[in-house]
């Protein structure tokens, strides 16, 4: 008899764990789409600070709508994607965020840069959006 009870107890323990895990999953906040995951829309948080963007490289699949949620850790900065008509002003630290939206139509590298004079290193504030084919190859 004990030999039969033990597997039953083990099963009950497993079920209890599964129920607890499922409950936790329901309570968890919505999970943000991970970078590099194919999908119609991706959100990436970028922090601007004299004199860099963090992260400074963002990789997404072609055709994905990229939402860059920008905030500053110091003064007012800008975020411009060269040649793509995207240019927003990032409010200074503590004044919230601004979201820039960009959907790359072709694979390739798109340069973004700070578009507001913010100090001696203003010209160094730049980064790259890499749009890759679903296969993962950047042209
Ligand atoms: Cu930051 Cu110019």
CA–centroid distance, 43 to ligand 1, in Å, is 22
Tell me the pLDDT band of 134, cut-offs 50, 70 and 90.
confident
What are the beta bridge partners of residue 101?
A: 67
- Among candidates 49, 44, 46, which has minimal Cα distance to 77? 49
- pLDDT tens, 64-101? 999 999 999 999 999 999 999 999 999 999 999 999 99
Closest residue CA from atom 1 of ligand 1: 77
Separation CA 128–CA 84 (nearest Å)? 13
Q: Is 77 in the pocket of ligand 1 (CB under 6 A)?
A: yes
3-state secondary structure (DSSP) of residue 8 = helix
pLDDT at 106: 95
pLDDT at 85: 96
CA–centroid distance, 118 to ligand 1, in Å, is 4
Handedness of CA 96, 102, 107, 110 (dihedral sign): negative
Is it the case that residue 130 has pLDDT exceeding 70?
yes
Q: Is 125 in the pocket of ligand 1 (CB under 6 A)?
A: yes
Q: Which two tokens stand for residue 52?
A: 């860099």
Q: Is 118 in the pocket of ligand 1 (CB under 6 A)?
A: yes
Measured at the alpha carbon of residue 114, what is the angle toward residues 108 and 115, in degrees to the nearest 5?
110
Is it the case that residue 22 has pLDDT exceeding 60?
no
Q: Is 81 in the pocket of ligand 1 (CB under 6 A)?
A: no
């Amino acid at each position: 008899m004990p030999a039969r009870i033990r597997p039953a107890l083990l099963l009950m323990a497993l079920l209890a764990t599964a129920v607890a895990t499922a409950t936790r999953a329901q309570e968890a906040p919505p999970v943000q789409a991970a970078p590099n995951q194919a999908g119609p829309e991706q959100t990436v948080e970028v922090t601007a600070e004299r004199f860099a963007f963090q992260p400074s490289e963002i990789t997404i699949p072609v055709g994905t709508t990229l939402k860059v949620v920008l905030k500053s850790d110091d003064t007012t900065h800008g975020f411009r994607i060269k040649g793509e008509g995207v240019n927003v002003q990032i409010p200074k630290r503590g004044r919230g965020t601004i979201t820039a939206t960009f959907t790359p139509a072709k694979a390739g590298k798109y340069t973004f840069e700070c578009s507001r004079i913010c100090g001696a290193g203003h010209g160094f504030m730049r980064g790259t959006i890499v749009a890759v084919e679903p296969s993962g190859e950047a042209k």
